[in-house]
Structure 1
Amino acid sequence: MNIIGGPAQDGEWPWQIALMWNNIYVCSAALLTPDWAVTTAQCVNQEASGYSILIGTNNLAEWSPNYQRQPVASVYKHPEYNTRIHDFDVALLRLTDPVEITDYSRTICIPTTDMSFEVGTTCYASGWGSSDGINEFLQEAQFSITSSNNCEGVTSNMLCADGIESSGACAGDEGGPLVSLVDTRWYLVGLTSKTTCGSGADVFTRMTAMYEWIAPILDGETPLSK
């Protein structure tokens, strides 16, 4: 099983990033600003060497003419990241050069600390993960935020979301965006952290809880790192 609901169309989730290491796909990520991307801390080493981001294409085997690729200049893991339970599972990637904003490569809004995404909120996840390898085409699925009681080992920095019609996130989807439409803007509600491949609800890093750590990049500063 994989993130199902059908292949996504080019430009449908324009903030979606494939995080590459030495030209091999390792995780998903999302574009926050032209210079910065975000993924989960479990997806990256502390050193930036070998990492790059691919954006503007949904096909990993045959890149769209709209693709852009940028090397990662620096990796910043959250200083409180816990490798055992994946608490504070977030990392920022500073890019060597800014991504050009187009119809196929766009930023996603960062929710502030005071925003709330309640149980029942409709969200969408996207990624290339699968139970038997990596998908060639980006997949999308609808999720609903559910009670934390439906997931194991959840802290206040995580949220629990259930895939609609037995869909779910799988290995390879880590770091990928969980987004929700608020009025006319899409917000990054979570990052795929712990997956069940449709056998239960999945765990996502709660982005409202990460806002204060992320906020310095919006002012041209660098975040504290592990």
Structure 2
Amino acid sequence: MTAGSWCFLLTLVLAHQGSAHFLDSECVNHKPSKDVFKDTPWMAFIASPTKNCSGSLINKQFVITTASCVFDQRESTVFLGMFDNLPENRKRYVKHTVLSVYTHKLYNKQTFEHDVALLLLDGPVTYKESIRPVCIRLGEINNLNNLKANRWGISEKMIFQRINRAQILKIKKCRDTFGITLKKSQICAGFQSGRICTEPGSSLVKQINISGKLWKTLIGIQSYGVSERCIYNKIAHYIDWILGIVLNVDVIHPNS
């Protein structure tokens, strides 16, 4: 995308959202809660005929996930809110069908590069404490430390949320683990707790301080993992692609 196109997109989004910092000005700022669903209200559970994945709500009608999650799926259902197997929560979530799936045209199954996708939901989401978008920062984010990985844990009898601390790993560790050299658009991170990194589409999040508030900002989307080491695709690399689709200001065709 040219510099002129980028400036045009940025002007549109600022006018549209009334915010100079984020894709959606109503995204999550830091309000500690003992209820995990209110602490991570952007988390989406994506159910497809042959696989389930995580995703992140980024505005009223779009969820971001991996291309590998939905690339070969004809149908996907997105669950938002208090979605798990606890009896008291069974009626406290909302369910959406997916109208269109946008996968990155350069997605590479072998290297996991550009493994990102946007899901257009069948209608706008109503925001509340347990359903709110994660922040998409329009500017640069420095110092990728104090990261948290948000994902679903799935057992035979229960679906529940997991939150793990993560840290950026050295290039050699990642090359030794995955057998590939990651690109600039990718992040290699490891769970400090030693938890297994197995869920595509899960979010890597950092709290950033703007105007005295801490905003929960999406850094990456998990593509692949081995043991406690994970490959994420870096959100900052795809800002123009995201804006073009969400604001409908570029000629990008859905693949479904």
Using the size of structure 1 for normalisation, the TM-score is 0.83
Deviation for aligned residue 1:145:
2.1
* Runs of 4+ residues deviating >4 angstroms: 60-64, 132-135
Instruction: Give the aligned partner of residue 223 of structure 2.
Output: 193
The 5-angstrom pairing of residues 178-217 of structure 1 reads: 178-183=204-209, 184-198=214-228, 201-217=229-245
**Residues 1:66 and 1:25: Cα distance change in structure 2 (over 3 Å):** farther
The answer to whether the 8 Å contact 2:43/2:56 transfers is yes
The reply to whether residue 26 of structure 1 matches residue 49 of structure 2 is: no
2:54 and 2:200 in contact (8 A); partners too: yes
Change (3 A) 1:127 1:133: farther
Please provide the CA RMSD for this pair: 2.5
Mapping 1:1-226, distance limit 5 Å: 9-22=36-49, 26-45=52-71, 49-60=74-85, 62=87, 63-112=89-138, 114-118=139-143, 121-129=145-153, 136-152=159-175, 153=180, 154-170=182-198, 173-183=199-209, 184-198=214-228, 201-221=229-249, 224=252
Deviation at 1:139, TM superposition (A): 1.2
Query: How far, CA to CA, are the matches of 1:115 and 1:44 in structure 2?
Result: 29
Aligned residue for 1:11, secondary structure, equals helix
Q: Distance in 1 between matches of 2:159 and 2:118?
A: 25
1: CA distance, partners of 2:193 / 2:51: 28
Instruction: Give 1:25 deviation, angstroms.
Output: 5.9
Q: Please give the alpha-carbon distance, in whole angstroms, between the structure 2 residues aligned to 1:223 and 1:129.
A: 37
Larger deviation: 209-218 or 53-62?
Answer: 53-62
Q: Secondary structure at the match of 1:165?
A: coil
Deviation of the 1:168 alpha carbon: 4.0
Distance 2:100 2:75 in 1: 11
> Residue 191 of structure 1 aligns to a residue in which SS?
strand
Q: What's the CA shift for 1:128? A: 2.0
Shift in Å, 1:50: 2.1
Higher helix share: 2
More deviation, 82-91/59-68:
59-68
- Segment drifting more, 134-143 vs 67-76: 134-143
Whole-angstrom distance in 2 between the partners of 1:16 and 1:180? 15
Distance in 2, Cα, partners of 1:215 & 1:188: 15
Higher Cα Rg, which structure: 2
- Kept in 1: contact 2:244–2:252 (CA 8 A): no
Q: Is the 8 A contact 2:205 2:219 kept in 1?
A: yes
**Cα separation, 2, equivalents of 1:150 and 1:210:** 25
When normalised by structure 2's length, the TM-score is 0.74
Deviation at 1:90, TM superposition (A): 0.1
